[in-house]
Amino acid sequence: MNTASRSNLAPNGDLALAASTPVMYAFGSNGSGQLGIGHTEDVSRPERCLFRTHKRGENSDHGLNFDRRNPVEGSAPAQVCDVKKLVAGGNHTLLLTTDGRLFIAGNTGMTRVVAEDIKSDCSVVFEEITDPFSTFGISRRNTGPRTVVTDIAATWGASFAVVDGKAIVGWGIGTKGELGLGPSVTSTNGQVKELFEVDSVSGRGEVVEILNIEGCVAHVIVLLSNGRVYGWGNCRKGQLGEQPRTEKIVWAPRSLGPVVDGEDLMPWMPERVMLGREYTVFVKTGRRPVVWGDIRFFDQKDLKWTAEEEDMMASGWSSIYILSRRLLDQSLQGAGRNDHGQLPPAGLPLVQTLAAGSEHCVALSENNEVIAWGWGEHGNCGEELDPRGNVVGRYNVVPLPKLDEDVVAKNVAAGCATSFVICGEKDG
């Protein structure tokens, strides 16, 4: 079990929660501190995540004081900050706020001096890491003084951030090209490296931005505003398309479509993309998806659905989920592997939002209950499991601790046997 060498204590000895940070709870696998709850024990009951912000040039703790597990009674509620995206690797979690700040918990992949002669790449709280990206000299889109992170992604051992919509930086480890830094580069040695800048692949006078980046275990896909698709990493199963399949590994960002060398590789420009462990799903409103890679766990009829603009879609390692938000058809459908009960069980209540982890799902029901099902060996589906550590053919209701006044569960996220509940202020 890994533990962080750095002290996560406020001056009075208690863990600190930063002001103007997300209010979030987590449960599940936590051997490297990837839940960001201040310790490295797996938990099956949600515990509040802790955040540490950094002022420029100094390390600072702000806000509420915490003991090892719970907020101090009587403390003022934290200022709620909205979460834009949360992604997870094997033992780390990245969180992006709507104002462009980036936090990380678990195996950070960044070497930091935490005390004299002591280095650590692990954090048991969500540490803000936005500032290092300001050193890359990227042409700035925003007019403010601060670097803005606009999107994030993770593979098993690597992390990626889109800076100001123009460049991608990465750090961590990966043996199958997922770092995107060139042949045989398998580690950034604790440093953040720039691997892609959109201006280098756009035409003269063409204004292009990075719309979306997604990662799974060992491959990454990027969508640009001009419709181009780039990718890198493991391609042995065709998850980067048929053209590079025989190479087995794409070591650096490569154009994958829609047209490459005069050959049409996609029938249209994708609007969204989902990644599984060994497949990639491109989505466009009103069209059937384009799927690359290993889909042996899917029935062909499962891949003939048509995406609508209101639909929410998610993918685990081997399962896909579509939540229809149309008034006449509010349903959740799933396809793919079901050996751990990953697919939606019968009797599931109406769901307002969901997230797919590696082999489990967590959702927020219409009456605002947190529910979970699938592979839950590490507590990521709650407490009641079958002898194999699964929640099969049913779902668990996972109760939250008492929330601050005027704060409610708003969204969910999931990673590799990890589950997160994102809270916000009550509407109205």
| pLDDT tens per residue across span 303-361 | 888 889 889 999 999 999 999 977 666 789 999 999 999 999 999 999 999 999 999 99
Does residue 17 contact residue 67 with C-beta atoms inside 8 Å? no
Q: Is the pLDDT of residue 284 over 50?
A: yes
Q: Is the pLDDT of residue 5 over 80?
A: no
- The 10s digit of each residue's pLDDT in 357-386 is 999 999 999 999 999 999 999 999 999 999
- The 10s digit of each residue's pLDDT in 87-131 is 999 999 999 999 999 999 999 998 765 555 556 789 999 999 987
Q: Which of 6, 13, 227, 207 lies closest to 122 in space, CA to CA?
A: 6
Higher pLDDT, 61 or 288: 288
Which pLDDT does position 54 carry in this prediction? Answer: 67
Domain ranges of the chain: 158-309
Number of Cβ within 10 Å of residue 246's Cβ equals: 8
Confidence class for position 408, pLDDT limits 50, 70, 90:
very high
Token code pair at residue 154: 């993770």
Q: Which of 197, 193, 203 lies closest to 158 in space, CA to CA?
A: 193
Number of Cβ within 10 Å of residue 274's Cβ equals: 21
Average pLDDT, the chain: 87
Q: Which of 26, 97, 82 lies closest to 372 in space, CA to CA?
A: 26
Which pLDDT does position 204 carry in this prediction? Answer: 74
- Distance between CA atoms of residues 116 and 25, nearest Å: 33
Residues in the chain: 428
Q: Which of 200, 192, 198, 196 lies closest to 170 in space, CA to CA?
A: 192
Radius of gyration of the CA atoms of the chain, in A: 21
Does residue 272 contact residue 322 with C-beta atoms inside 8 Å? no
Q: Which of 28, 45, 149, 6 lies closest to 90 in space, CA to CA?
A: 28
Confidence class for position 394, pLDDT limits 50, 70, 90:
very high
**β-bridge mates for residue 197, sequence order:** 167
Q: Compute, in degrees rounded to 10, the torsion defined by CA atoms 20, 21, 23, 28.
A: -170
Q: Is the dihedral of CA 276, 280, 284, 287 positive or negative?
A: negative
The mean pLDDT of 186-190, rounded to a whole number, is 96
Q: May I ask the CATH class of domain 158-309?
A: mainly beta
The mean pLDDT of 280-308, rounded to a whole number, is 92
Token code pair at residue 32: 């490297």
Tell me the residue type at 53: T
Does residue 398 contact residue 371 with C-beta atoms inside 8 Å? yes
